[in-house]
Structure formats: C-alpha cells, structure tokens
Copies of this chain bind each other. A is one copy, B any other.
C-alpha cells in the first residue's frame, strides 16, 4: 500500500506530530510506503514529493510549522472540479502509484476529502485548525496551543493594564467561531469575552467595563476577530463598516478600543495577537492529540476505513464518516458563552 500525505490550509501546531504518528504506524507497523507532497496540492500538481519514513520524521513532534509546508492551493481550479481535472488527479495518482490519501486540514480540506471519497478515491481526514470550528471531533489539534498562547498574552496584558489602570483589548483569531476567545478568556479571567456568535452593543460593553472599574479593577477584554458590534439600530458591524456605518480601519480591537475609551473615559489600548497564535512548538496536549490522530489514520487506512475522519471523542480517537464531519461550522453553544459571562460587569 502506498499512501500520500498532504497538508492544506493555514498551519496549525501539531501537524508534524500527526505526520510522525501516521508514518511510524503506517511504515513500521503496517508496512506502507508513504510519500508527502510539498505545500499541499501544489506539490501534488507539480510532482514535488518526498519519501516519508522513520528517518524523515525523526524528532519533529516538538517543532512548530510543518515539514511538508502547507498552502491554500486547491485541488481544482474551480469549485468541485470538472471532468478534465478529475482525470488529471487520477493520472497523477497512477503516476505516483498512490493507493490513497491522508489529508491534514480544516473544514475546506475535509470537504475535499469527502469530494474525493464520493468520487471513489480513497481518502482519510485528519482534522486540524487552530479555530476548533470543525465538527466530528471534540477538539482539533492546534487549538490548545493557540489558546495557550492567547492565555499567556492575557496574563501579560493584565499586569500592564492593572499598573496603568487601563482597559486592555486583545484581539484573537476566530473569524466565524469564538472558541479561542472563549477558552483564553476563561483561562485568563478576562472580564469581557466577545465572540462572533454573540453580537453585543457598545453600550453594553462599556457598562461591563465601568462596573469592573467600580469594583476596583482594570478590564481585560478579549475579542475574536469576527465579533460584530450591535449598533444602536440593531445593525451589526459589516465588512468594511463598523456598527455605526462608518468606514472601519484595522481590526475589531482597533475599532473597539476608542469606542470604549470614548464612552467610559478609561484609557483603553488594543493589541492584535496575530500570527504568533499559530506558530511555535505545540503544547504537550496538541502533540499527543496529533500523534494519536496520525496513528488512528494509519490504522484506518490499514483497515480499509476510507472516507472517514479521525476525531477525538472523550479520551478516544474514533473514526467518523466524512459526510458527518464536514459542511457545518462548529460554533460556541449558548451555555458555554453563559459561563464566561459570569465574569462580566
């Protein structure tokens, strides 16, 4: 059996551990031949591939990034691919003598895995994204590292905020789902946590910040990049506009900070955490989760369980059919948001 591995989408801590787990189990236990495509589908299209064996994955679990590279190059120029494109994929597979794929990625990649499966091509999904917005798994690898970095940033901002009696606003990743903000906010004891799933008005936010001041503390506001402000007329922030119909400069933290300062009279500063959230050495949690996901994926290939994704359920890695995992965004449920609202006001 000859298996191709590729990574697609944004990088996510743990990808190296996942590759290592799959290769150690696949090559050493099941006797697979394995190859990796560089920079995702780019390497597939351009025959840029490397053999994956024990020595290729030596010592890589603690390393950030991913040894194969990753990119957003899609398998098809357009949508679900036309006949010629499918033909090209099958031709490439024959050329590389591939029996199947292990696809490491988030929502987009797992949707591709399902497309391949529907077309009769063997594929198994390994769910990774720092955003944790993928169904079919309790947590995706990369998420714990991102939360850990964001939580550490909150610990740091809090001390400078308290020393200067300032309100500090920290913007973290999460365009469509507020998982990083939710967990980092809870871990760091943020007084206000704002997520895409729950628009709030600037009046409400300012009231929370003022009540924190009244209790003698300085506010730490953590906000997911996709949070939308509820305007006076019920309109929420739109792409390019703030909640008041004015052109929006910079990210959501840079929009919020002056509005909070204006309404509360409290000096307010914005920090955008940015790309540091997805870099660096993975946490032990993510290394373990990713390694086990890789092992489970190799086992699934060996057992012929194509068309599945290896997801975390409790303390086990189980296989879920790809069509159950993809297509819907996993967002933060109301009950979880209620938990962080404990700290508000």
Interface residues of A (CB under 8 A from B): 10-11, 20-21, 24-25, 28-29, 39, 54-55, 58-59, 61-66, 69-71, 138-139, 144, 147-153, 155-165, 168, 183-184, 186-189, 215, 217, 249-250, 269-276, 278-281, 283-285, 287-288, 291-292, 295, 313-315, 339, 342-343
Cα–Cα distance between A313 and B229 once the two chains are bound (Å): 34
Question: Could you say which residues of chain B place their CB within 8 Å of the CB of A155?
Answer: 62, 64, 279-281
Question: Could you say which residues of chain B place their CB within 8 Å of the CB of A281?
Answer: 155
Which residue in chain B gives the minimum CB-CB distance to A269? B275
Q: How many copies does the complex hold?
A: 4
Q: Which listed residue, B21, B186, B269, B315, touches A288 by the CB 8 Å rule? A: B186
Cα–Cα distance between A147 and B283 once the two chains are bound (Å): 10
Question: Could you say which residues of chain B place their CB within 8 Å of the CB of A284?
Answer: 144, 147-148, 150-152, 183-184, 187-188
Cα–Cα distance between A100 and B138 once the two chains are bound (Å): 33
Q: Is the CB of B160 within 8 A of A295?
A: no
Which residue in chain B gives the minimum CB-CB distance to A343? B24
Cα–Cα distance between A150 and B164 once the two chains are bound (Å): 22
Which residue in chain B gives the minimum CB-CB distance to A185? B288
Question: Could you say which residues of chain B place their CB within 8 Å of the CB of A313?
Answer: 314
Q: Is the CB of B148 within 8 A of A279?
A: no
Question: Could you say which residues of chain B place their CB within 8 Å of the CB of A55?
Answer: 215
Question: Could you say which residues of chain B place their CB within 8 Å of the CB of A63?
Answer: 159
Q: Given A65-B162, A160-B11, A164-B71, decide whether A187 and B153 contact each other with a Cβ distance below 8 A.
A: no
Question: Could you say which residues of chain B place their CB within 8 Å of the CB of A64?
Answer: 155-156, 158-160
Cα–Cα distance between A159 and B187 once the two chains are bound (Å): 18
Question: Could you say which residues of chain B place their CB within 8 Å of the CB of A269?
Answer: 274-275
Cα–Cα distance between A189 and B20 once the two chains are bound (Å): 10
Q: Is the CB of B276 within 8 A of A153?
A: yes
List 8 A-B pairs, minimum CB-CB distance, nearest first.
Answer: A64-B159, A156-B279, A65-B159, A156-B280, A65-B163, A187-B284, A151-B284, A11-B163
Q: Is the CB of A279 within 8 A of B144?
A: no
Which residue in chain B gives the minimum CB-CB distance to A61? B189
Question: Could you say which residues of chain B place their CB within 8 Å of the CB of A249?
Answer: 249
- The winner among A24, A59, A148, A162 for most chain B CB atoms within 10 A is A162
Min C-beta distance of A290 to chain B, whole Å? 10
Q: Which listed residue, B10, B39, B69, B342, touches A28 by the CB 8 Å rule? A: B342
Q: Which listed residue, B151, B164, B271, B276, touches A287 by the CB 8 Å rule? A: B151
Cα–Cα distance between A24 and B92 once the two chains are bound (Å): 43
Min C-beta distance of A169 to chain B, whole Å? 10
Cα–Cα distance between A81 and B328 once the two chains are bound (Å): 55
Q: Is the CB of B275 within 8 A of A160?
A: yes
Q: Is the CB of A339 within 8 A of B292?
A: yes
Min C-beta distance of A105 to chain B, whole Å? 13
Which residue in chain B gives the minimum CB-CB distance to A162? B65
Cα–Cα distance between A21 and B162 once the two chains are bound (Å): 22
Cα–Cα distance between A291 and B269 once the two chains are bound (Å): 27
Q: Is the CB of A276 within 8 A of B65?
A: no
Q: Is the CB of A24 within 8 A of B183?
A: no
Cα–Cα distance between A184 and B287 once the two chains are bound (Å): 9
Cα–Cα distance between A159 and B145 once the two chains are bound (Å): 14
Q: Given A70-B163, A155-B62, decide whether A29 and B276 contact each other with a Cβ distance below 8 A.
A: no
Question: Could you say which residues of chain B place their CB within 8 Å of the CB of A168?
Answer: 275
